Amino acid sequence: MGDNGVRDAYFTDLAARLRERGVTEERITATIDDLATYLSESGTDPEEEFGPAADFARRLCADDEAAGDAASAPASGTWKWTADIFIDQQRLNEFGAQGWEVETVDKNGMFVSRRDPERPQRWEYRREVVRPARRAALAESLAPDGWEPCGTWWYYAYFKRPLAASVGPTAEVASPPPAPRARLFLSGRYYLLAACTIILLVLAAVVIGWMLDSVTPIEILDYAAGAVVGAAVAFAVGLWVILRNRDS
């Protein structure tokens, strides 16, 4: 294959990779044209100049991925996830051992994590319960041990520490596993709590119905239908609030 053949094959591959990542056709054409002009001036080989097409496409779209959902989580880069309060520390340390560094906790309570694509380091995490006014003092008291704040959620404050601070270069993750596709981790205790809450709500509805019925007779089917519709409306409103926050 001649020089032009190599370039054409590279750009065809790159265009396909960009397309897979949802880049518009107009942008792909402009990008390829610009890069072709670059190569005509530099006189270099495309792979030598830009690196392998798949990797280059990923880096060109790095910000889009950071903003996108983790269903298409990259092997490295940013990953947003969350876990319930019963297992968050355990999960943080598990993913910290895979090289994930939490940069912040966003307003939806998601851990915004990053992993260095070249030299991922292990991280340790801890969670403290603290009033907002006491956060700075707490951070100051933990700082001598190498802990730095990495996000807050209500009264919970999260801290991280690079393992390199205590074990040196061996803290580097030799072969990091791929980024998990999931973004929500719930424990058995969480499901148990949710089930208990639902049972309590149903019991409360039954008791209220029984009390109403003792005052003035009610149609049990109408009452049950009203309770189900009320629960569905509350669920829909809650879901709408969550989704609206997520989109904004």
Partner 1 sequence: MAADRRANWLKGVLDLLVLASLREGESYGYEIAKTLADGGFGQIKGGTLYPVLNRLEEAGLLAAEFRAAERGPGRRYYRLTDQGRETLAEQSELWLAFGESVRAMLTKGMRS
Residues that bind partner 1 (CB under 8 A): 30-42, 48-51, 56, 59-64
Smallest distance, partner 1 to C-beta of residue 103, A? 16
Decide whether 32 or 231 has the Cβ nearer to partner 1: 32
Distance CA 134, CA 2 (A): 67
Decide whether 12 or 42 has the Cβ nearer to partner 1: 42
Distance CA 169, CA 156 (A): 31
Q: Are 127 and 89 in contact (CB under 8 A)?
A: yes
Smallest distance, partner 1 to C-beta of residue 47, A? 9
Decide whether 51 or 177 has the Cβ nearer to partner 1: 51
Decide whether 7 or 91 has the Cβ nearer to partner 1: 7
Smallest distance, partner 1 to C-beta of residue 203, A? 52
Calculate Rg over the CA atoms of the chain.
Answer: 26
Smallest distance, partner 1 to C-beta of residue 21, A? 12
Decide whether 32 or 112 has the Cβ nearer to partner 1: 32
DSSP secondary structure of 125-169 = EEEEE--GGGHHHHHHHHGGGT-EEEEEETTEEEEEEETHHHHGG
DSSP letter for 172, please: B
Smallest distance, partner 1 to C-beta of residue 60, A? 6
Q: Which of 54, 158, 51, 60 has its CA nearest to residue 106?
A: 158
